[in-house]
Structure 1
Amino acid sequence: MTPSPPLSPSNLWHQFRHASWPWRITWLYLTLLLFLPMAALLLQALTLNPAEIWRIATDPVALSTYRVTFVTALVAGLINGVAGLIIAWVLVRYEFPGQRFLDAIIDLPFALPTAVAGLTLSTIYSTNGWIGGFLEPFGIKVSFTRLGVLVAMIFISLPFVVRTVQPVLQDLEAEAEEAAWSMGASPWQTFWRVILPPLMPAILTGVAMGFSRAVGEYGSVVIIAGNIPFQDLIAPVLIIQRLEQFDYAGATVIGSVLLLISLGILLVINLIQARGRRFYD
Structure 2
Amino acid sequence: MRDLSIKTPLYMLAAVIAVPIAVLFYSAGPVGIASSFEDPQFISSLGLTMLGASIAAALNVALGTPAAYALARGLIRGEGALYDLLLSPVSIPHTVVGIMLLIMFSPASPLHYLLGSLNPLDTLWGMILAMFYVSAPIYVMSMREHFERSDLEMERFLGSLGMSPSSIFYSVILRGSLGSIARISLLSMGRAISEFGSIVILAYSVSMAPLFYYVKPATVLIWYKYDVYGLSAAVGYASALLVVTLILSLLAYLASED
State the TM-score, normalizing by the size of structure 2: 0.84
- Match for residue 207 of structure 1 among 185, 201, 219: 185
- Against the structure 1 CA distance between its residues 133 and 66, is the aligned structure 2 distance closer, same or farther, given a 3 Å change threshold? farther
Matches within 5 A, 1:1-281: 20-31=4-15, 33-46=16-29, 50=31, 54-91=34-71, 92-96=73-77, 98-126=78-106, 129-131=109-111, 133-137=113-117, 140-180=118-158, 190-228=168-206, 230-231=213-214, 233-272=216-255, 275-276=256-257, 279=258
Q: What is the CA distance between 1:180 and its match in structure 2? A: 4.3
Distance 2:74 2:244 in 1: 37
Distance 2:165 2:206 in 1: 47
- In structure 2, the CA distance between the partners of 1:169 and 1:226, relative to structure 1 (3 Å rule), is same
User: 1:225 and 1:57 mapped to 2: Cα distance?
Assistant: 22
Closer, same or farther in 2 for the Cα pair 1:231/1:147, shift >3 Å?
A: farther
Separation of aligned partners in 2, 1:21 and 1:29: 13
- Larger mean CA deviation between 123-132 and 175-184 belongs to 175-184
Distance 1:203 1:55, change over 3 A: closer
Other-structure match for 1:3: none
In 1, Cα distance between equivalents of 2:116 and 2:142: 36
How much does 1:160 deviate? 1.4
Q: Which of 1 and 2 has greater Rg?
A: 1
Q: For the Cα contact (< 8 Å) 1:165–1:199, is it kept in 2?
A: no
Give me the CA root mean square deviation. Answer: 2.9
What corresponds to 1:13 in structure 2? none
Per-residue deviation at 1:168? 2.9
Where do 5+ consecutive residues of structure 1 fail to align?
Answer: 1-16
Q: Which has the higher contact order (CA 8 A, sep 6+)?
A: 2
| Bigger mean CA deviation after superposition, 200-209 or 183-192 | 183-192
Q: Distance in 2 between matches of 1:184 and 1:90?
A: 18
Q: Which residue type is aligned with residue 102 of structure 1? A: L
Q: For the residues of structure 1 that align with 2:104 and 2:239, how far apart are their CA atoms?
A: 35
Whether the 8 Å CA contact 2:186–2:252 is kept in 1: the answer is yes
Give the distance between the partners of 2:149 and 2:197, measured in 1 at CA: 36
The Cα of 1:79 is off from its aligned counterpart by 0.5
Indicate the SS of the match to 1:160.
helix
* 1:4 corresponds to: none
Structure 1 residues 149 and 30, CA, compared in 2 at 3 Å: closer, same or farther? same
Task: Report deviation, 1:171.
Answer: 4.1
Distance verdict in 2 for CA 1:21–1:84, change over 3 Å: same
- Amino acid in the other structure paired with 1:264: I
1:58-102 CA distances to partner (integer Å, 9 max, x unpaired)? 222211110111110111011011111122233234232x33221
Q: How high is the sequence identity, in percent, across the aligned residues?
A: 24
Normalising by structure 1, what TM-score?
0.78
Structure 1 residue 245, shift from structure 2 partner? 1.3
